[in-house]
Amino acid sequence: MVVRVACIILAVSVPLGWFTLFFSLGAIFLPYFAVVIANEVGSAPSDKATKVVAPTLSISADQFKIKTEDES
């Protein structure tokens, strides 16, 4: 963030030209790349994690019965 603040200050303080464009792009894109790199470092897969499998439910049609008013 110190580099970004320096880019913002330099983009405002230097006369218009290539340096202004360079510092402005640095102030805009440095945070983006910092977040992308930080997220990539922490996303290493763990070999110790177990895979969770949901149980499969099966219900046959024999288990359903239509109730009439007489059976209630």
Distance from the Cα of residue 17 to its chain's centroid: 36
pLDDT confidence band for 46 (50 / 70 / 90):
low
Q: Spell out the residues 6+ positions from residue 52 whose beta carbon is closer than 8 angstroms to its own.
A: none
pTM over 0.85: no
The CA-based angle 11-31-44, given to 5 degrees, is: 160
Helix H segments across 1-72?
Answer: 2-13, 18-41
Q: What is the pLDDT of residues 26-42, one digit of tens each?
A: 999 998 988 888 888 76
